[in-house]
């Protein structure tokens, strides 16, 4: 009879599901690392929240463990690499807190619009300052949403239900998804300039760090109210405090912080017109019940020989004949989404040559996984990638052709929206993956690590200027691959580099005469 260890408190509904399956369920919370190591070998599954650290030492002692279930989203407390090496599935519950997080964002919006925290504090001090707390109505106002993913989409729905005009920026969501949410897609600056309320729901990446800072606050009207409930670091906290203090915006609300808990001298804590909450987005009874039920169901599925739909390290299911192409397909998906700048409606995957004779469905799934990973906070795997692609309103098509002139096999991935982007790759010697085409330019680039893709005018001196500028910022070039349409036309450089290329460096590159664009991609 399977044994399940629950080492952090979870809702009783989750425990009931495990008990109903006939398992031995032991609830042992606040275990030390040594205590956990001593007993983990007895168990077939463990369910944790954020308190238990399932590190490499714990994993190595887990001789019978089949699944580590995280009742929640974040898995920073779990060594996924160690678990994968030992064949242990790691699963989480990413959907359970969606409604809770969206509702909290709306609660913060109303707190700002009606001065609820300030009025509450004033009245409890014995004051009756009714005329000092005149608010604004949400109906008819423009709600600017940055990020129309899982939570941002729910915020958009609620804004629309309140009679707000939802205008959104998300370069990776399709027009069809925006239409379903009754949201108008617009460019980044246009959202800033039109919004009466701004709600931020983007992942924290190199490009989104301090995405809203001094320059962005200057573009907003002085009656804008900002809600930040996504990831700490996306909004510049010092800039937001200054903008409120100097009347550049009317107010702000923060549920997340770059450092949690925030330092006592964090300027946001000093401003009366800034509402702050201690990361309460997922803190509802319903959310805790949902994540407990979800993760219990994943544990039962795995222990009964099935699949954990929310597994973070789910293996690919591919025949030996196509297994070498899985990594290439995933990389092509990662590449094509990072070189585009507009909202993707369709992904087309074309297989040519010998690969077209195989069952390529796992490769198409790998493309979708690669496409989604750079743009989502939620973990993506080979189980959930097709559904997550569908949820974003992106249509996936697959085609085959037996003919290819230059390669034994070729995989081409195209994205369509207002424009088209195209990348292609092959295996040399059937083991060496190589990117051979980027937006119509022939290249021969390894699909690993960090890369910088530069579009430039084909004229003398361009390579030297790019190399010099990267050198000035201590960015080493590991390899360079060039392609061009014709002499004097437009050319492309694909530079493999040792480190990330920061946004400010890319902006300096595009300021060089003759350079059309410079895009960093992580492969």
Contacts of 142 (CB under 8 A, 6+ apart): 164, 165, 166, 167, 194, 195, 196, 197
Place of tokens 């014709």: 486
Q: What gap in Å lies between CA 334 and CA 473, rounded to an integer?
A: 26
Q: Which of 44, 40, 72, 43 is nearest to 58 (CA)?
A: 40
Q: Which of 114, 242, 279, 450 is catalytic?
A: 279
Distances (CA, A) of 455 to 133, 222, 416, 418, 487: 53, 39, 20, 19, 14
Q: What φ, ψ does residue 35 adopt, rounded to 5°?
A: -65, -40
Q: What gap in Å lies between CA 509 and CA 246, rounded to an integer?
A: 34
* 201 given a catalytic annotation: no
* 350 given a catalytic annotation: no
Distance of alpha carbon 63 from the chain centroid: 33
Count of other CB atoms within 10 angstroms of residue 510: 14
Q: What φ, ψ does residue 395 adopt, rounded to 5°?
A: -85, 135
Q: For residue 381, with 0-12 CB atoms within 10 Å meaning exposed, 13-18 middle and 19 or more buried, which class applies?
A: buried
CB 97 within 8 A of CB 288: no
* 450 given a catalytic annotation: no
Contacts of 107 (CB under 8 A, 6+ apart): none
The per-residue DSSP string of 374-438 comes to GG-SS---TTTHHHHHHHTT-EEEEEEES--SS-SEEEEEEEESSSEEEEEEEEETTTEEEEEEE
Local structure of 344: helix, strand or coil? coil
Q: What gap in Å lies between CA 411 and CA 394, rounded to an integer?
A: 19
Alpha helices in 33-149 (DSSP H): 33-39, 56-61, 80-85, 98-113, 116-124
Q: What gap in Å lies between CA 366 and CA 326, rounded to an integer?
A: 6
Q: What gap in Å lies between CA 232 and CA 209, rounded to an integer?
A: 9
Q: What gap in Å lies between CA 313 and CA 84, rounded to an integer?
A: 7
Bridge partners, residue 144, by sequence:
167, 198
Contacts of 126 (CB under 8 A, 6+ apart): none
Q: Which of 125, 260, 264, 304 is catalytic?
A: 260
Q: Which of 231, 392, 416, 421 is catalytic?
A: 231
The CB-side HSE value for 137 (13 A sphere, CA atoms) comes to 6
Q: What share of the chain is helix, strand, coil (3-state, %, to 5)?
A: 35, 25, 40
Active site residue ranges: 231, 260, 279
């Amino acid at each position: 009879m399977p044994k399940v260890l629950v080492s952090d408190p979870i809702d009783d509904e989750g425990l009931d599901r495990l008990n109903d399956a006939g398992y031995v369920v032991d609830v042992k919370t606040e275990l030390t690392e040594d205590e956990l190591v001593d007993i983990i070998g007895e168990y077939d599954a463990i369910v944790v929240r954020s308190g238990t650290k399932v590190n490499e030492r714990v994993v190595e002692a887990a001789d019978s463990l089949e699944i580590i279930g995280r009742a929640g989203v974040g898995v920073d407390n779990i060594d996924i690499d160690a678990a994968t090496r030992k064949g242990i599935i790691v699963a989480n519950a990413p959907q359970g807190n969606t409604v809770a997080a969206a509702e909290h964002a709306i609660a913060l919006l109303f707190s700002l619009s009606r001065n609820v925290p300030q009025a509450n504090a004033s009245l409890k001090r014995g004051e009756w300052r009714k005329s000092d707390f005149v608010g604004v109505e949400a109906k008819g106002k423009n709600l600017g949403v940055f990020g129309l993913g899982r939570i941002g989409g729910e915020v958009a729905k609620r804004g629309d239900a309140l009679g707000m005009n939802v205008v959104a920026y998300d370069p990776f969501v399709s027009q069809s998804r925006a239409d379903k949410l009754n949201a108008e897609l617009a460019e980044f600056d246009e959202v800033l300039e039109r919004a009466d309320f701004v709600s931020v729901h983007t992942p924290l990446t190199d490009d989104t760090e301090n995405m809203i800072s001094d320059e962005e606050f200057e573009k907003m009207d002085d009656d804008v109210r900002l809600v930040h409930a996504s990831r700490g670091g996306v909004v510049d906290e010092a800039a937001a405090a200054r903008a409120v203090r100097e009347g550049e915006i009317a107010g702000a609300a923060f549920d997340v912080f770059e450092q949690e808990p925030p330092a006592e001298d964090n300027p946001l804590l000093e401003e009366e017109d800034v509402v702050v909450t201690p990361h309460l987005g997922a803190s509802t009874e319903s959310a805790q019940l949902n994540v407990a039920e979800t993760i219990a169901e994943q544990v039962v599925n795995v222990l009964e020989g099935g699949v954990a739909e929310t597994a973070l390290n789910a293996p690919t299911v591919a025949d030996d004949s196509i297994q070498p192409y899985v990594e290439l397909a995933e990389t092509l998906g990662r590449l094509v989404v990072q070189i585009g700048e507009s909202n993707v409606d369709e992904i087309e995957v074309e297989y040519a040559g010998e690969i077209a004779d195989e069952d390529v469905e796992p490769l198409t799934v790998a493309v979708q996984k690669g496409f989604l990973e750079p743009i989502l906070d939620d973990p993506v795997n080979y189980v959930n990638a097709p559904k997550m692609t569908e949820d974003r309103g992106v249509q996936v098509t697959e085609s085959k052709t037996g003919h290819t002139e230059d390669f034994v096999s070729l995989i081409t991935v195209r994205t369509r929206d207002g424009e088209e982007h195209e990348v292609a790759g092959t295996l040399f010697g059937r083991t060496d993956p190589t990117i051979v085409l980027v937006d119509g330019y022939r290249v021969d680039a390894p699909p690993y690590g960090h890369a910088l893709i530069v579009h430039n005018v084909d004229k003398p001196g361009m390579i030297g200027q790019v190399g010099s500028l990267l050198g000035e910022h201590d960015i080493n070039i590991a390899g360079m691959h060039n392609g061009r349409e014709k002499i004097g036309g437009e050319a492309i450089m694909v530079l493999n580099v040792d480190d990330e290329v920061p946004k400010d460096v890319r902006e300096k590159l595009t300021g060089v005469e003759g350079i059309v664009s410079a895009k960093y991609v992580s492969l």
